[in-house]
Structure 1
Amino acid sequence: MTEAAFKYSILASGSSGNAFYLESPQKKLLIDAGLSGKKITELMAEIDRHPQDLDAILVTHEHKDHIHGVGVLARKYQLDIYANEKTWQAMDGMLGKIDSHQKHLFELGKTKIFGDLDIESFGVSHDAAAPQFYRFMKDGKSFVMLTDTGYVSDRMAGIVENADAYLIESNHDIEILRSGAYPWSLKQRILSDQGHLSNEDGAETMIRTLGHKTKRIYLGHLSKENNIKELAHMTMENALKQADLAVDHDFKVYDTAPDEATPLTDI
């Protein structure tokens, strides 16, 4: 049996906090740490992994639900942190004291090599300093993280097409958001081109980007107030079926949770 190119687990995904774990034979990485260090440690334990074994933390952007535990984990376990220059500037004062030798640049639109992994960063449209997400690649296999964007441009769609697995944003149901208790200014922000993808937006993005390699689609960053897990799942599956894509045959749709890790999965 051939060895997996890499393994991954979506430790947490939601408006309350986000963290993604990925390991290859040579590297163990955390992408975002948007919950407390204690909670991240508990979530990693669910997949029998431990923060002291991490090589680095990659940061997508400076919002609290993506960096809440970064400083604590980096100090406790002497971890390297990677982010682009504008994100480092925006995080200044938010992480606590980080030694300069732990701070590294991962510039927007670049591909970096981490041991046996190639990681490509790409920009998204979100109200942060310079938000970027990642495509992880090894041995012809790839995983794409794509949340926290108001829309998906043709350029972004081209970068992320035909991955083996996706974490795609299904943040809100438009009608629930419109009729909900959020102030109008916040609703406008979420619905804007620098906000978040709705269930329909996420589904439309998948129709544009999935390919013959794609086997798994994970729905991520669901809003606790403005979405329902079953509704997000149904919206995605129905849209894919209407586009004549073979859901549950060629690929499957999976849910994520804000406080429960997905199983450690080979790719």
Structure 2
Amino acid sequence: MSLEFSVLASGSTGNAIYVGTEKHKLLVDAGLSGKKLEELFAKAHLDPKDLDGLLVTHEHSDHIKGLGIFARRYKLPIYANAKTWDAMSGLIGEVPVDQKFHFDMETVKTFDDLDVESFGVSHDAAEPMFYVFHHEGKKLSIATDLGYVSDRIKGTIRDSDMMIFESNHDINMLMMGRYPWNVKRRILGDMGHVSNEDAGAALADVIGDQTKRIYLAHLSKDNNMKDLARLSVQQTLEQNGFSIGDKIDLYDTDPMNPTLVTRL
């Protein structure tokens, strides 16, 4: 079986992404209740009993809300870096020692036939990091919660077959919206989130010959809309010479419904 994935949930209310091969199956983040995660697995026609582990990106609630209960229920090992483990203390309940593992930033771990590469991002968490998955020449990158997209990140995710990439907010909606100024400043800052416009500009720098699908992720429920994000990113990419709908397709993600399981 090839590399497969489903964005089970993505957005400011909760995030979880399934990635698997024939020999190893992982869940990246568990930012919803245990019950809701099980419902999402069922909708995607996946079985959480098949999971072999949980990868954590950072300690914010929308990424770890159901982490402890899900790991305990299915006896899953949890992988996170040391600072994230410290930051999660008291947030996920007691986790048995034999289920706690360290995955350092800027390293590669091999899980049977799946190589997972971690990389750091700029976000207001202890030590946030995301992942690139490699399997039999195929490459899937996950990059959200980005204050900005550095050249180092671009080099890491460049020419992925599939990308799950943040398109958090429309700047005008954010500025005109109900959030207090300190929250707006945090979102717009270098440790906040990437706008639709900045997502398009960054993607224009990392799309390669292998790139086929881009999933726009972590949309704000208050400051974005699916159609707006897709049209904004598409317009920026087309201005940079990319033909959307030809060799490259843009896909939505949803906070309540999983994407179809896709195989590379």
- Same-fold status (TM-score > 0.5): yes
Where does residue 78 of structure 2 map in the other structure? 81
> Aligned pair 1:32/2:29, yes or no?
yes
Q: Secondary structure at the match of 2:27?
A: strand
Q: Tell me the CA shift for residue 144 of structure 1.
A: 0.3
For residue 224 of structure 1, the aligned residue among 192, 215, 221 is 221
Structure 1 segments unaligned to the other structure (5+ residues): none
Q: Tell me the CA shift for residue 47 of structure 1.
A: 1.8
Where does residue 45 of structure 2 map in the other structure? 48
Q: Secondary structure at the match of 2:118?
A: strand
> Aligned pair 1:137/2:143, yes or no?
no
Partners in 2 of 1:102 and 1:221 — Cα distance? 28
Where does residue 95 of structure 2 map in the other structure? 98
Partners in 2 of 1:201 and 1:173 — Cα distance? 10
Identity of aligned residues (%): 51
For residue 106 of structure 2, the aligned residue among 98, 109, 120 is 109
Partners in 1 of 2:231 and 2:85 — Cα distance? 38
Where does residue 206 of structure 1 map in the other structure? 203
Equivalent pair of 1:59/1:83 in contact (CA under 8 Å)? yes
> Aligned pair 1:250/2:252, yes or no?
no
Partners in 2 of 1:154 and 1:213 — Cα distance? 19
Question: What amino acid sits opposite 1:166 in the alignment?
Answer: M
For residue 165 of structure 1, the aligned residue among 138, 162, 166 is 162
Per-residue deviation, residues 141-189 of structure 1 (Å, max 9, x unmatched): 0100000011011111101100000011000000100111001000000
Question: What amino acid sits opposite 1:81 in the alignment?
Answer: I
Question: What amino acid sits opposite 1:261 in the alignment?
Answer: P
> Aligned pair 1:184/2:181, yes or no?
yes
Where does residue 54 of structure 2 map in the other structure? 57
Question: What amino acid sits opposite 1:241 in the alignment?
Answer: E
Equivalent pair of 1:51/1:73 in contact (CA under 8 Å)? no
Per-residue deviation, residues 62-112 of structure 1 (Å, max 9, x unmatched): 000000010001111111000000000000010001001100000000000
Q: Tell me the CA shift for residue 250 of structure 1.
A: 1.0
Q: Secondary structure at the match of 2:132?
A: strand
Partners in 1 of 2:73 and 2:213 — Cα distance? 34
Partners in 1 of 2:168 and 2:251 — Cα distance? 15
Cα RMSD for the two superposed structures: 0.6
Q: Tell me the CA shift for residue 50 of structure 1.
A: 1.7
Equivalent pair of 1:117/1:138 in contact (CA under 8 Å)? yes
Where does residue 9 of structure 2 map in the other structure? 12
Q: Tell me the CA shift for residue 229 of structure 1.
A: 1.0
Q: Tell me the CA shift for residue 246 of structure 1.
A: 1.7
Per-residue deviation, residues 175-223 of structure 1 (Å, max 9, x unmatched): 1001110010000000000000000111111000010000000000000
Normalization by structure 1: what TM-score? 0.98
Partners in 2 of 1:49 and 1:157 — Cα distance? 31
Task: Judge which range, 40-49 or 191-200, deviates more.
Answer: 40-49
Q: Tell me the CA shift for residue 53 of structure 1.
A: 1.6
